Chain A
C-alpha cells in the first residue's frame, strides 16, 4: 500500500505540482456567506491545516472540497481533475471524488462491525473480496485494532472509534484525506497520543491531507503548512513556525500561542532605520518590516510580544536594547510553564518562564524583549 501512494518525494516536487487547488471559493448557508473567495493549494503529500475559531468557514471549505456542500462560486481541482467549477457548471458528486474523510463524530456505522466499516470503501470500489479482507485488516493493523475487527462498532470507546475512522479512511486508497476536527471529542491525554499516531501515519503514506482544527497546538504539531482563517477569509498562511514567529495581524498573534498585544505610536524614522514604537513614553525597538502594518483607527500601532520570547533576568545587561527594570506582580505555576504578570514602564506584560528558575512575587527584575521578537501586526 505504501508503495502505491508514493506521490511526492519532497518539498521541491511539492511546490512544483499543486495536487489540490481551491480558487476563489465562496460558500453560503441559506443567505449567510460563510466562505469568501478563498484560494489555496495543497501539494502532493503535503499536510495542510485550516486553523481558526468556530464559524470561520474552515469546515465549510473542507466540506466543499469533499463535495458535501455546494459552493456558490469558485473552482476546485483535485489531481488535475476539475471537480467543481461554478462558471463551467461542473460539480462532481462526492462519491466520485475518490477522497476520504474523518468526521468530528467519527461517523462509524453502528450497524456494522469494525471490519465492515473499514471494508466499506473497498467494497464500493468493487475490489475482490479476498483483497478487501487483506487490505482492511492491514489498515486495522496500522491502527492496532485487528483484535477488535469482528466486534460491533457501538462497543468501541472514543479513541477506538477514532482509530477505526482513520483505518477506514486509509484503507480505501484515497487521493487525499480530509480530517474535520478529528481529535476534538477526545480527552487531552488521548488527543496528544492520537496526534503522534496520526503524524506517523502521515509520514508513512505521504498522502495529501487537509486538516481542519480550532486547536493551534494540533495545527502546529501536524502540519507542513497552516492557513489561519477568520470570518470566511484567509488571514495568514505559511509554515507553522513562520506563523508563530511572524504573525501578520493581531488576530493571528492572539489566536496562536500566548502573545501580549501592546499599542503605541510609531516614532518618525528614516528609511532603513529600525522602527521605534512609543508605548506610554517607553521606546521599543521593533523587528524590521517591509512596510508599516495597518494602524488602528486612532492612529496607534499594535505590537505583539510572545510570552515565551520575553526574558526575565535578575541582573541588568545595560548594553541590550529593549531592556527595562520591572516588577513581578503575580506568579502562576502551570506545571510545565510558569506565567508571570510583570509590571514594566510600558504597562503590564505576561511572560512565560520555567519552574527551574522561579522569581518571587514582588521581586524586582529586568525585562528584555529582543527586538526581532517585537512584531508589529495589523490592527483589527
Chain B
C-alpha cells in the first residue's frame, strides 16, 4: 500500500506513445479515400493544364491555355454561380420555414408533413426536371394549358425553360435536405435558451434574431454548404430545362464538351477545377465562420422544444406546407403518371387514350431500360451494403477507438462533400481508364464512385447512430464475460439494427436515383436508371420516359415505406 501523496517526489514516466498504433480500421479507409479521391483530383488537375494532345492520358505538355480559353466562357461559371446561389438561398428559405413550422409551431399534421416533405429529395432532380418540363413548358405544359383553357389567354402563365424555372425546380427538390438538417438542430435545441431571452425582456423578434438564429447558424451553414455544393454539380435540371434556352452552366458545358467530337477533355477539366476551387473556398469560409462559434449546447439531450401557437397564422402556414407538397410531390408525380399512360404524345385526360404499353415497353420489351432497372437495383443494394459497412467502420473508429489519426479520418470522410459529384465522376472516369485492371464500363466502377460520393452522407447517418449508443452498454457486456463476437451479436448489432437499415435504405434510394456520378461511368451494357432516363429523354418520347421515371419513383417510394416502418420499429424486439 502506498503512503499518501507518495507520487509527489517521483518524476513521472511519460506515457509510451509507441504502444499506440494506428489501427487498420483507420488507415485502410484513409488509404482508400486518398486513392479514390486524391487520384481522380490529381488527374483532373493534370488534364486541366494539358495543352498537348487532348486525348493523351497522362498529358505530356502543360500550360494554362485552357484557363485562358475559359475566360471566353466566363458566362458558364457566372451562370453556375447564379443558379447555385439563388437556388441555395431559395431552398434554405423554404427549408427553414418548413422546419420551423414542423418542429416549433403547433400547426397540425406534423407527422404527415414530416413524411411528405422528405420525399422529393430521394425522388431526385431527374424526376423533378422531367415532371416540371411536362408541367411548365410554355406550349404543352399541363399548367399552362390549364391556365389557357380557364382564362382564354394565349400567353403562357410561365415558362419553366428559364433561369427562374431552373432555380425554382432545383430549390424545391433540394429543400428537404435543409428541412432535415435544420430540423434536427431545432429539435435538439434547449428551449430554455429562448425562454431566458424572453425572461430578460426580449420580444419574440429580438429572441429570434439574437438567440435562435445564432444558435441555429452552424446547422444553417452546413445545410447551405451541402446544398450549394450539390447544386454546383447539378446536372439533370439545368440540362433538361436550360439547353432549350441555350443556357449553359458548368456541368452542362462539361457534358457538351465530353459529347462533342473530338471531346475537349482539357477544357472540361479546367471548368471542373474552377468549380472545385469555388466549392473548396465555400467550405473554407464556412469552416472559418463556424470556428468562431461552437455551440455544443445544441447537441446532446433531446429536448422537447416549446412549440409556438400561431393562432391566426396557422392556416397560412398550413397552406404553405400544402403548397410545397403540391409543387414538389403531387403535381410532379401526377403529371408523370398521366404522361406515362398516354398512347401518343400530348397529355390527354381521356381514359380511352390511356395505355399501359409504355410500362410494358420499358420494363420488358426494351433491353436497355430493362437492364438499367436491374443494374440500378443491384447498385442500390451494393452501395447500401458496402457504403453502410464502410461508414459504420469509420464512425466506429472515429467515435470509439483511441487510435491516432481518427480525426484525420473523419475529415477525409467528409471531403467528398466538397466536390460537385459530376466533377468527381469526371476525374474518376480518367482514373478508371488509366488503371491497368479492366474497370471502365463495368458496374464496379460505378459502385466505387457511388460509395465515395455518398460516404459523407452515410458517415453522417452512422455516426449519429453510433454516438447515440452509450459506450457502457458494450462495456457492460464485456464485464459480463462476453467476448467481442458475442458482444457484437447480442448487444451492438441489435442496438444498431434500426440505424443500419435506415441508412442502408437511404443509400439505396439515392443510388437508384443518381445521375451526376454515373453519367460518365455507365456505358453500353452497364446502363443504370439515371443516365438511362436522361438519354431516353433525348430520344424516347415523353410517354416512355415518363413510364421509366415512374418506375424509378415507385422503387424509391417502396424503399421509403420500408424505411418509415423500420424507423418506427423499436430496436430489437
Which residues of A are at the interface with B, using a C-beta cutoff of 8 A? 26, 28-31, 33, 36-41, 66-68, 72-73, 93-96, 98-101, 103-105, 107, 109-112, 120-121, 124-125, 152, 154, 168, 172, 178, 232-237, 248-249, 378
Q: With an 8 A cutoff between CB atoms, is B60 at the interface?
A: no
Taking CB as reference atom, which chain B residue is nearest A236?
B4
Query: Which residues of chain A are within 8 angstroms of B7 by Cβ–Cβ distance?
Result: 36-38, 232-234
- Whether B12 and A26, one on each chain, are in contact in the complex, defined by CB atoms closer than 8 angstroms, is yes
* B residues 426-477 in Cβ contact with A at 8 Å: 470, 472-473, 475-477
User: Quick one: which of B13, B491, B571 has the most chain A CB within 10 A?
Assistant: B13
Say which one of B164-172, B201-209, B482-490, B515-523 lies at the interface with A: B482-490
Given the interface pairs A107-B472, A111-B573, the reply to whether A28 lies near B15 with Cβ below 8 Å is yes
Taking CB as reference atom, which chain A residue is nearest B17?
A31
- Whether A234 and B572, one on each chain, are in contact in the complex, defined by CB atoms closer than 8 angstroms, is no
- Whether A233 and B572, one on each chain, are in contact in the complex, defined by CB atoms closer than 8 angstroms, is no
- Whether A103 and B4, one on each chain, are in contact in the complex, defined by CB atoms closer than 8 angstroms, is no
Q: With an 8 A cutoff between CB atoms, is B402 at the interface?
A: yes
User: Quick one: which of B4, B402, B470 has the most chain A CB within 10 A?
Assistant: B4
Taking CB as reference atom, which chain B residue is nearest A24?
B2
Query: Which residues of chain B are within 8 angstroms of A111 by Cβ–Cβ distance?
Result: 494-495, 570-573
- Whether A103 and B475, one on each chain, are in contact in the complex, defined by CB atoms closer than 8 angstroms, is yes
Q: With an 8 A cutoff between CB atoms, is B1 at the interface?
A: yes
Query: Which residues of chain A are within 8 angstroms of B486 by Cβ–Cβ distance?
Result: 124
Taking CB as reference atom, which chain A residue is nearest B2?
A39
Show 12 residue pairs from A and B whose CB-CB distance is below 8 angstroms, ordered by the A residue. Answer: A26-B13, A28-B15, A29-B402, A31-B15, A40-B2, A67-B478, A95-B483, A109-B476, A120-B477, A120-B480, A152-B573, A168-B476
A248 to chain B, nearest CB (A): 6
B430 to chain A, nearest CB (A): 40
Q: With an 8 A cutoff between CB atoms, is B481 at the interface?
A: yes
Query: Which residues of chain A are within 8 angstroms of B473 by Cβ–Cβ distance?
Result: 107, 109-110
- Whether B572 and A124, one on each chain, are in contact in the complex, defined by CB atoms closer than 8 angstroms, is no
Query: Which residues of chain A are within 8 angstroms of B482 by Cβ–Cβ distance?
Result: 95, 120, 124
A38 interface neighbour in B2, B17, B478, B480, Cβ under 8 Å: B2
Taking CB as reference atom, which chain A residue is nearest B4?
A236
Query: Which residues of chain B are within 8 angstroms of A249 by Cβ–Cβ distance?
Result: 4-5
- Whether B6 and A98, one on each chain, are in contact in the complex, defined by CB atoms closer than 8 angstroms, is no
Query: Which residues of chain B are within 8 angstroms of A100 by Cβ–Cβ distance?
Result: 479-480
Query: Which residues of chain A are within 8 angstroms of B480 by Cβ–Cβ distance?
Result: 95, 100, 120-121, 124, 168, 172
Q: With an 8 A cutoff between CB atoms, is B151 at the interface?
A: no
Q: With an 8 A cutoff between CB atoms, is B16 at the interface?
A: yes
Taking CB as reference atom, which chain B residue is nearest A28?
B15
Given the interface pairs A31-B17, A40-B1, A111-B573, the reply to whether A125 lies near B475 with Cβ below 8 Å is no
- Whether A95 and B478, one on each chain, are in contact in the complex, defined by CB atoms closer than 8 angstroms, is yes
B5 interface neighbour in A28, A30, A168, A233, Cβ under 8 Å: A233
Distance of A249 Cα from B8 Cα, bound (Å):
13
B468 to chain A, nearest CB (A): 11
- Whether B4 and A234, one on each chain, are in contact in the complex, defined by CB atoms closer than 8 angstroms, is yes
A153 to chain B, nearest CB (A): 10
Query: Which residues of chain A are within 8 angstroms of B570 by Cβ–Cβ distance?
Result: 111, 154
Distance of A248 Cα from B16 Cα, bound (Å):
33
- Whether B481 and A95, one on each chain, are in contact in the complex, defined by CB atoms closer than 8 angstroms, is yes
Q: With an 8 A cutoff between CB atoms, is B149 at the interface?
A: no
- Whether A235 and B5, one on each chain, are in contact in the complex, defined by CB atoms closer than 8 angstroms, is yes
Taking CB as reference atom, which chain A residue is nearest B571?
A111
Given the interface pairs A101-B476, A109-B473, A120-B480, the reply to whether A30 lies near B402 with Cβ below 8 Å is yes
Distance of A124 Cα from B476 Cα, bound (Å):
12
Question: Can you add 8 more A-B contacts, CB < 8 Å, to A33-B15, A103-B475, A120-B490?
Answer: A31-B17, A94-B479, A95-B483, A100-B480, A103-B472, A107-B472, A152-B573, A234-B6
Contact with A along B1-42 (1 / 0, CB 8 A): 110111110101101110100000000000000000000000
Distance of A93 Cα from B10 Cα, bound (Å):
30
Taking CB as reference atom, which chain B residue is nearest A174?
B479
Query: Which residues of chain A are within 8 angstroms of B13 by Cβ–Cβ distance?
Result: 26, 72-73
- Whether B8 and A233, one on each chain, are in contact in the complex, defined by CB atoms closer than 8 angstroms, is yes
* B residues 173-190 in Cβ contact with A at 8 Å: none
Query: Which residues of chain B are within 8 angstroms of A107 by Cβ–Cβ distance?
Result: 470, 472-473, 475-476
Distance of A236 Cα from B476 Cα, bound (Å):
30
A172 to chain B, nearest CB (A): 6
* B residues 517-573 in Cβ contact with A at 8 Å: 570-573
Q: Shortest 10 CB-CB distances between A and B: which pairs?
A: A111-B572, A121-B480, A107-B472, A28-B15, A107-B476, A94-B478, A39-B2, A124-B481, A103-B472, A236-B4
- Whether B4 and A110, one on each chain, are in contact in the complex, defined by CB atoms closer than 8 angstroms, is no
A56 to chain B, nearest CB (A): 13
B1 interface neighbour in A33, A66, A93, A237, Cβ under 8 Å: A237
- Whether A103 and B476, one on each chain, are in contact in the complex, defined by CB atoms closer than 8 angstroms, is yes
Given the interface pairs A36-B12, A110-B495, A110-B572, the reply to whether A248 lies near B4 with Cβ below 8 Å is yes
Taking CB as reference atom, which chain B residue is nearest A153?
B572
Taking CB as reference atom, which chain B residue is nearest A23?
B2
Contact with A along B389-407 (1 / 0, CB 8 A): 0000000000000100000
A60 to chain B, nearest CB (A): 13
Distance of A19 Cα from B491 Cα, bound (Å):
31
User: Quick one: which of B5, B16, B479 has the most chain A CB within 10 A?
Assistant: B479
Given the interface pairs A33-B15, A36-B7, A233-B8, the reply to whether A99 lies near B479 with Cβ below 8 Å is yes
- Whether A109 and B481, one on each chain, are in contact in the complex, defined by CB atoms closer than 8 angstroms, is no
User: Quick one: which of B16, B17, B470, B494 has the most chain A CB within 10 A?
Assistant: B470
B10 to chain A, nearest CB (A): 6
- Whether A37 and B571, one on each chain, are in contact in the complex, defined by CB atoms closer than 8 angstroms, is no
A110 interface neighbour in B10, B12, B478, B571, Cβ under 8 Å: B571
Distance of A232 Cα from B6 Cα, bound (Å):
12
Query: Which residues of chain A are within 8 angstroms of B491 by Cβ–Cβ distance?
Result: 109
Distance of A101 Cα from B482 Cα, bound (Å):
13
B81 to chain A, nearest CB (A): 43
Distance of A40 Cα from B15 Cα, bound (Å):
21
Query: Which residues of chain B are within 8 angstroms of A68 by Cβ–Cβ distance?
Result: 475, 478-479
- Whether A66 and B15, one on each chain, are in contact in the complex, defined by CB atoms closer than 8 angstroms, is no
Distance of A99 Cα from B4 Cα, bound (Å):
27
Distance of A179 Cα from B573 Cα, bound (Å):
29
- Whether A234 and B479, one on each chain, are in contact in the complex, defined by CB atoms closer than 8 angstroms, is no
Query: Which residues of chain B are within 8 angstroms of A66 by Cβ–Cβ distance?
Result: 475, 479
Distance of A334 Cα from B544 Cα, bound (Å):
83
Query: Which residues of chain B are within 8 angstroms of A36 by Cβ–Cβ distance?
Result: 7, 12
Query: Which residues of chain B are within 8 angstroms of A378 by Cβ–Cβ distance?
Result: 5
Distance of A94 Cα from B482 Cα, bound (Å):
9
Query: Which residues of chain B are within 8 angstroms of A235 by Cβ–Cβ distance?
Result: 4-5
- Whether A26 and B6, one on each chain, are in contact in the complex, defined by CB atoms closer than 8 angstroms, is no
Given the interface pairs A26-B13, A41-B1, A110-B572, the reply to whether A125 lies near B479 with Cβ below 8 Å is no
Distance of A109 Cα from B182 Cα, bound (Å):
31
